[in-house]
Amino acid sequence: MKKKIAIIMGGYSSEYKISLKSGHVVYKFLDTKKFDLFRIHIFKEKWVYVTENNEEYPVNKNDFSIEVENHKITFDCVFNAIHGSPGEDGLMQSYFELLGIPQTSCDAYQAAITFNKRDLLSILKPYGIKSAIAYYLNQGDPLDLDAIIQKVGLPCFVKANKAGSSLGVSKVYTKESLITAIENAYVEDDEVLIEAFLNGTEVSVGVISYKGETLVLPITEIVSENDFFDYQAKYEGKSKEITPARISEIQQKKVIEMALRAYTVLKMKGFSRSEFIFIDDEPFMLEMNTTPGLTEESILPQQARAAGISLPDLFENAILEALA
């Protein structure tokens, strides 16, 4: 009997459009001979099952079931394709854990940590994983621009602490621009991370659970046409993503070791994609994504293809790992 798989997509953040694209790609490539697939849209105002004809059936949040033509349907597994909250910050993971429904991403604790850039980098620092000098702000804190500049220098990066897809991120060159950048970050989150500018080669490293093992995928080098790897560069073709990355053997060895160490230390499972910048031969971690983009053009699928893993195989494996 075929397993019933709910593919959750959408979410509560500005990333919902990208999440819908990711979810549709998963729906497109999973083998319908092996699985019964259900697209579930998760939004603040509604949780609904969306049919091929775009008919909508509400999700019963008490047990995450749906009722179609007087027939109740429950799910054997959830494929999580939500970027941002509530799919990447631990909320959905906690919900499914309480219901006893397997899901494809990491556990709730790991999701909460990795979604919070400040917490993630602080936890990994004692394990030898380096990151940029940083200054923290919470909404309502007094602004001491001189203290910020004294600590991180200029140029610097101002980031929403809990947001993805480079939303709420600005590269700042002058003291006068800092306030606007901080206000921009607060649109996405009530916590801000201000980091020293790292001038070096940026790479993305995918680590996944694959056939019972932890697998590091081929590394991608990111070359942005814009000033940094912003939303346009990520999703509107304003960057080159080169897999495998044009880095030295020693750089490759070090960044693989760091990405694997982070995945292991945090007791991760499912997909992860970590971003690093090299200063000389040393990788400095920027962040880790636990529900990375899954469109055909996204970085993790590119890396999987370079490793000889097709999208149907990648997505099916995620389900089998969750069920196991």
Question: What is the domain partition of the chain in residue ranges?
Answer: 3-104, 112-129+199-323, 134-196
List of the chain residues with pLDDT < 70 = 164-166, 226-238
Enter the CATH code of domain 3-104: 3.40.50.20
The per-residue pLDDT for 14 is 85
CATH code linked to domain 134-196? 3.30.1490.20
pTM: 0.92
Picking from 165, 162, 219, the residue whose alpha carbon sits closest to that of residue 186 is 162
What pLDDT does 227 receive?
62
Please report where in the chains the tokens 């939004």 appear, as a residue: 43
CATH topology of domain 112-129+199-323: D-amino Acid Aminotransferase; Chain A, domain 1 (3.30.470)
Phi, psi of 19 (to 5 degrees): -60, -40
**Of 75, 80, 74, residue with least CA distance to 104:** 80
Other CB atoms within a 10 A radius of the CB of residue 63 amount to 12
**For residues 323 and 29, what is the distance between their CA atoms, to the nearest angstrom?**
19
- Residue 94 CB neighbour total at 10 angstroms: 16
pLDDT for the residue numbered 167: 73
DSSP 130: B
- Of all residues in the chain, what percent carry a pLDDT higher than 70? 95
Q: Does the fold of domain 134-196 match that of domain 3-104?
A: no
The pLDDT value given to residue 277: 97
